[in-house]
Amino acid sequence: MVSMLNEAMCNREMKIVVDKGEGRTKSIIAWLSTIEKSGLTITEFFEKYEVPFSHSQYYLYKKRLKEFGESGLCDKRSAGGNRKLTVESEAFIAGCVESNPEVSLQWIQEALNKRYGVTLTPSGITRLLQRLNPDRRKRARGRRRKYEQKAKYNSCGGFELIVALSYHLGWPQMTAHTIKNTVKSLRKAKAFRCAESYFDKEGRDKFGRFTAEYNQREDVRKSRFESITEKRRQKNWKSMNVIRDDIGTIERKSLAILSLPVITMNGGIRTVDSALGQELKHFAGFNYRQSSLTKYLNELKYLGVSTNFLQNIVTFWAKCWGPEMKDISHRTLLCYYIDGNTKAVWSSRRVKQNKVTMLGRVMGCLEHVFIHDSFGHPVYFETYSGHGPCGEHILEMFEKIEGTIQEVPGSRTSVTRVLVMDGASNSVKTLRAFASQDKYHYITPLDDNQWKDRKINRIGRPKRYRYGKATLREVVIELENSQEKGYLIRTRAIKIDWDNGKMTVLLTSLPVETTGPSEIVRSYFDRWPAQELQFKSMKSAISLHRVAGYGKQKVEDEKVAQRQGHVAKMINRLTETLKKPLEDIGVHEESIAKLIPKERRLRNQSEIIHGKRKLPERLREQLESYGKQIQRHEREIKKIEKKHLDHFRLLRKHRREWLRLQGKETVYKVDVELDQIVTFHRVSLANLYAYFIKHFLGGQPTSMTNFLHKIIHLPATIKETDTIRKIILDYNKKDKLMMEKLSGAIKKINALHIIGPQGKQMEFSLEKPLS
């Protein structure tokens, strides 16, 4: 007995042995025997020694040992305990669940009771189903939710069609994966791992949230509009929500940014919290506030995700528009249209400038350079602060996307790729860049002031234009580089004499044996219906004129520095040439400077009465004497300047230029990161509009502005169940033709069985009026 007690006090592994069930029966019997022989009461024994079971278990074990012997203490849990279900009943439940995975727990409970006389609780049935099929999706707790079809109103219900189309094409998924891949790359960077080392607590509350005091800090106020490149150095990357957001959340936020031109009417983000902004709960699946979307865009700006967006936009839309390329498989020329869009930047600081066409003035601006395919769809763009580098830089843009541009499917001949540019891109420097490669050719108009008969080397016979009323002539013309005097380039040109008396000249690098003049002229003038017209409509429909983000980076203005150096050099040279005349003029100017104060004192002593100066005779004579002396010195200065008239005119000109250039040594370059992110969403919206018009409305010519007014702004009634979201669009009795087209489009889009942002199948219908 003593050894047993010592073992209980010194070695506590016996409790573990009992709990594990190893030698359990023998251990319990030994403990029961020790307690009875100890001479202590049960309470005293349990207080003095550590027993591996409780008081109640002691009496239970003693009773079972007395009634059933050692077999009553055996652990029967390894055999499954007292099982209510047999193998047959379990097989029955497994078969029911396999035939109908959505079978209710109540039905299984009643079936077991009726068929096998077994009663199980709902929780017991749930554990049984989990044991039979571990991969089975768990049921939601509580009562089954009953969705009542409560009608909701959407004032811009037509945009739900675009949301459904975007999910069908995979645009939200592509955007979310692009952002996630950028985050994944960031996590591998050293800056992300060291982000927590810098944490600025000044101006935050105890929870780390910003307060009004933070915005009043002097360093924050100064760096508010600094370049994003400077701000990234001290960014705490781990504090951004986009790092932790899942794919679904990013998809919904991207849809909210996509719908900004619709819910704000102008593409801005300041009016998201207004009445129309509540429709975000229908478009994006969540009613985001302005602050949430602003923070989301700022985090994307810090990530620098615009570069990946621009790379993926070409691949994505080339895949979507790929089948259309078969329509031009018979052509030998594949045209890409190059166009720009300039939008004003209002800033008190001196930013890079260019002419803003819609305002008719030179001012700070951002310029987009777009590449459109043969059908006018914008497939790629880049944003620049100030003047966009067109011309020779267009080839650099095509180098970035040439891996995505593939041959035209179905074409039996090799397709020649031609870039159609406007007159702003026809510099000799541009033509030289195209001449140094053979992948791409150009077609561009020649300015009227550049056309001279003396520059013509050869002119061909007249031919009639096959697609219009004009006469064409093949021309070989020589052009001189204005920035490099004496450098000449010879190129092919097409002279167009229209029957109405006008004349146009087109320059091209296409060889004569490749394409005739009529095809070249047609390719250029197809630009208006194929690209210019819909681009004009697109800019207003998607609010492309809006500027997003005003971060600025201070850079040296090299052109101003060069001009300042040139002006200073010219001033020094002219000053040296006019050294003696300037000394003589200096003597006369010094005399004039001494006479002016004397004359001023006399003028102050006089009075003006009825337009006449009243002054005593002596003082008046003295005043006239001073005036004659000053006039004499001024005449002498003019005589000296007349001998060196050209030199003095140049000196005054360069001195004025020097004063004008003071303080302009630096210029602010506007950040384009945020603007490119927002423009990516707007260009995607334009492509979605065009895709819906082409594939769902029959492809009839429809401007995006009309599409916005006639389809997107249609109100709708929303009815939802647990699996289906029904969008009932209102019928417009005033536009029956468009409603007939919309009915056909709804049938097509319903056949796709699209799952929207709410995780439910989207079904559309058009409700006709009762009368």
Residue 338's H or E segment, with its range, is strand 333-344
> Are 581 and 644 in contact, with CB atoms under 8 Å apart?
yes
Instruction: Return the higher-pLDDT residue of 377 and 64.
Output: 377
Whole-angstrom distance, CA of residue 378 vs CA of residue 337? 9
In terms of pTM, does the model score above 0.75? no
pLDDT at residue 263 in the model: 92
| Average pLDDT score over residue span 362-371 | 89
> Are 440 and 357 in contact, with CB atoms under 8 Å apart?
no
Whole-angstrom distance, CA of residue 769 vs CA of residue 771? 6
Neighbouring C-beta atoms of residue 126, cutoff 10 Å: 16
Q: How far is CA 448 from CA 445, 468, 494, in A?
A: 9, 21, 14
pLDDT tens across 103-144, in order?
A: 888 888 888 888 888 888 888 888 888 877 766 666 555 555
pLDDT at residue 216 in the model: 83
Q: What is the mean pLDDT of the chain?
A: 84
**237 residue type, one letter:** W
Instruction: Return the higher-pLDDT residue of 82 and 222.
Output: 222
pLDDT at residue 326 in the model: 64
pLDDT band at 323; cut points 50, 70, 90: confident
Residue 222, φ and ψ in degrees, nearest 5: -75, -35
Q: Which of these, 251, 246, 252, 261, lies nearest to 281 by C-alpha position?
A: 252
Beta strands in 260-373 (DSSP E): 333-344, 353-356, 361-372
> Are 321 and 375 in contact, with CB atoms under 8 Å apart?
yes
Answer yes or no: is pLDDT of 769 > 70: no
Percent of the chain with pLDDT over 90: 36
> Are 720 and 726 in contact, with CB atoms under 8 Å apart?
yes
Whole-angstrom distance, CA of residue 497 vs CA of residue 518? 13
Whole-angstrom distance, CA of residue 158 vs CA of residue 716? 7
Q: How far is CA 550 from CA 194, 364, 443, 576, 582, in A?
A: 28, 11, 36, 47, 49
> Are 214 and 203 in contact, with CB atoms under 8 Å apart?
yes
pLDDT at residue 149 in the model: 58
Answer yes or no: is pLDDT of 4 > 70: no
pLDDT tens across 7-60, in order?
A: 444 333 333 334 444 477 778 888 888 888 887 877 778 777 778 777 778 888
Q: Which range among 169-183, 285-299, 436-450 shows the weakest confidence by mean pLDDT?
A: 436-450
**In the numeric block, which tokens belong to residue 436?**
């140094």
Locus of tokens 């033709």: 737
| Average pLDDT score over residue span 201-225 | 79
pLDDT tens across 225-268, in order?
A: 777 777 777 777 888 889 989 999 999 999 999 999 999 988 88
